[in-house]
Structure formats: structure tokens, C-alpha cells
């Protein structure tokens, strides 16, 4: 959101990042971040596991778009986009998709102008940022 209502919360988040980066202070300072991605065949499709750091207490939430995750898109080798069915597990996101593992070229999260479902947060209330993973 270009003009968010909760400006104080954003300021607190920026302050936590500055305190960590400049002074090395402990405590959570960022949202969940992908650290490792694995893709494997599963029957007619694939299972993608996205391991996350800064992921204690993962949860999905939205003020107005429900609690389901709809913002993971998988691009196949032909350039076609597929929405992955995503669920949160401890310190990871698990995606199931009807695309063979060797056909997956790219995984995107929050890659559009706005989110279409819930976003992912950690226990500190910090959101996971957008990312693109390419093979």
C-alpha cells in the first residue's frame, strides 16, 4: 500500500531494522525470507517447499481478502502461469501444483500490483516480502 494507515507500525519496523543493522541488537527485525527451495515430483504434479528464515510463528492474514494464500504463481517452461495451492508449515511454505517438476521455470510471491489473498507474517507481525526464484 503506497499510503498505509498504520504508519507508526512501519516506523517501528524500520527502527528495528536500523537497531539490528547499525547496533547489532537482538530481536526480530524483518519478515520471513526464503532460504532454500526444493521441488520434487508428486504423482501428476509437484510439491515445492520454501524454507524460511525469520519464520517463528508463521501465520497468514488479510484485512479484507480472507485467510487463504493466493499469491504464489508458478511459471512453466512455456511461460504459462499457474497458481500453487499453498499451506504454511513450521518454518516453511508448501505448494502443490499440477505441473511436473522439470517444467517449473520460476516461482513468484506477491509479484502483481496487489495481493489477492492473505499475506504471510511471522510472530513479530512482519510480512514476508515479494520474491522471484528462477531455475
pLDDT digits (tens, 9 = 90+) for 8-46: 888 888 899 999 999 998 889 999 999 999 999 998 899
Q: How far is residue 32's CA from residue 94's CA, in Å, rounded to a whole number?
A: 14
For residues 66 and 79, give the distance between their C-alpha atoms in angstroms, rounded to a whole number. Answer: 29
Q: In the prediction, which pLDDT does 1 show?
A: 56
Helices (H), the chain: 7-23
With 80 as the cut, is the pLDDT of residue 4 above it?
no
pTM, two decimal places: 0.87
What percentage of residues in the chain have a pLDDT greater than 90? 73
**Are 29 and 19 within 8 A, CB to CB?**
yes
The domain segmentation of the chain, as residue ranges, is 1-30, 31-134
pLDDT in tens, 52-79: 999 999 999 988 898 899 999 999 999 9
Q: Indicate the CATH number for domain 31-134.
A: 2.60.40
The reported pLDDT for the residue numbered 2 is: 65
Amino acid at each position: 500500500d503506497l499510503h498505509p494507515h498504520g504508519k507508526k507500525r512501519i516506523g517501528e519496523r524500520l527502527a528495528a531494522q536500523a537497531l539490528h543493522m547499525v547496533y547489532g541488537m537482538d530481536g526480530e527485525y524483518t519478515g520471513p525470507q526464503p532460504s532454500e527451495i526444493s521441488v520434487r515430483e508428486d504423482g501428476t504434479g509437484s510439491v515445492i517447499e520454501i524454507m524460511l528464515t525469520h519464520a517463528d510463528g508463521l501465520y497468514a492474514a488479510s484485512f479484507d481478502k480472507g485467510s487463504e494464500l493466493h499469491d504464489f504463481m508458478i511459471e512453466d517452461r512455456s511461460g504459462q502461469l499457474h497458481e500453487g495451492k499453498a499451506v504454511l508449515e513450521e518454518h516453511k511454505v508448501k505448494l502443490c501444483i499440477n505441473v511436473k517438476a522439470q517444467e517449473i521455470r520460476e516461482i513468484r510471491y506477491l509479484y502483481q500490483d496487489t495481493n489477492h489473498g492473505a499475506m504471510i507474517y511471522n510472530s513479530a507481525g512482519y510480512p514476508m516480502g515479494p520474491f522471484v526464484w528462477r531455475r
